[in-house]
Structure formats: C-alpha cells, structure tokens
Amino acid sequence: MRRNHGFTITEILVVISIIGVISLIATPSLIHYQKKSKLKSEARILATNLRLAQQFAITEQNRYAVELSLLNGSYDIVNLVTSEVIKSIILDPEVDIATTTNLTNNIIQFNPTGAVLEAGTIALINTKHETSTLEIKPSGFVDILEQ
C-alpha cells in the first residue's frame, strides 16, 4: 500500500498560527521603524533643501532664504531679491516642524558667500513624539543631530 506524503490540515493550521503570532509580535516594531524612518527622511530632505538654497545664494550671488511655516508643516525656498518662490515643500503628514531657535520669523537667510545671517536649530517631530534636530551653523553648514 502506498501512502501520500502531503501535509495534514492540523500541520497547516499550526504553521498558519505560528506565522500569525510572529506577525502580531513584529507589527508594532515595524510601525515604530516606519515612523522613525519618515522622520529621518524628512530631516535629510530639509537639510538637502537648505544646502540647495545655500548653493543658489553662492551661484547667483543673491540672498536666498528657506521660510518655514510651522502651522502648515511646509517650507519654501525663496529668492529674497526677486521674492520668487523657487521651491515649495510639504512635509509628510506624520512629521511636523516642532520648534526653531534663534531664527527670526522662522527664516533661514543665506548671503552670497553661503553663510547664514542667523545660526539656529530646527526640530522636527513625528506622531510618536520622536525628534530630529537640524543645526545651522554661522558658516551655513547644516548638521542633522540624531536623538
């Protein structure tokens, strides 16, 4: 007599149960990682756009600014000579601009040498209340401080 070598329904249910338990355990960690990843990504994008404004200022020998809107969760790169908005950026809905320090009217201004008129910091926050801080030094150097 020949016996079939398949799986029984009991074995299949046990495997499905194990996969379900592992999924339940892993889901919170995955969600936390996703929110942290979005925060880091938005911090890198903001740093890149600050450097872009700095490069515009140096290349065109004009004053450029990044104007932050804390209420809207957005910011603009602006040519201060012509008042032209070069680029508008809206942050991910799960990330907001929490605070700024030492920045008059939440504006970072770059002069034609690439330096800023006021050094300061920008703190971004996600829905899990984790923060990522960008430090803008007097020379115009932008550094992301991980926490």
What total of structural domains would you count in the chain? 1
Spatial CA neighbour of 121 closest among 92, 144, 147: 144
Residue at 4 is within a domain: no
Residue at 128 is within a domain: yes
Report the CATH number at residue 53: 3.55.40.10
CA distances from 68 to 1, 49, 77, 93 (A): 79, 12, 9, 15
pLDDT for residue 141: 96
Residue at 1 is within a domain: no
Q: Which residues pair with 144 in a beta bridge?
A: 134
DSSP string computed for the chain? -PPP----HHHHHHHHHHHHHHHHHHHHHHHHHHHHHHHHHHHHHHHHHHHHHHHHHHHHTS-EEEEEETTTTEEEEEETTTTEEEEEEE--TTEEEEEEES-GGGEEEE-TTS-BSS-EEEEEEETT--EEEEEE-TTS-EEEE--
pLDDT in tens, 126-140: 999 999 999 999 999
d(CA 123, CA 75): 14
pTM value is: 0.82
Is residue 35 scored above 90 in pLDDT?
A: no
Residue 98's identity, in one-letter code, is A
Residue at 69 is within a domain: yes
pLDDT in tens, 85-142: 999 999 999 999 999 999 999 999 999 999 999 999 999 999 999 999 999 999 999 9
Q: Are 92 and 76 in contact (CB under 8 A)?
A: no
Residue at 33 is within a domain: yes
Residue at 3 is within a domain: no
State mean pLDDT over 42-66: 97
Is residue 1 scored above 60 in pLDDT?
A: no
pLDDT for residue 94: 94
Range of the domain at 59: 9-145
User: Over the chain, what is the mean pLDDT?
Assistant: 93
Residue at 100 is within a domain: yes
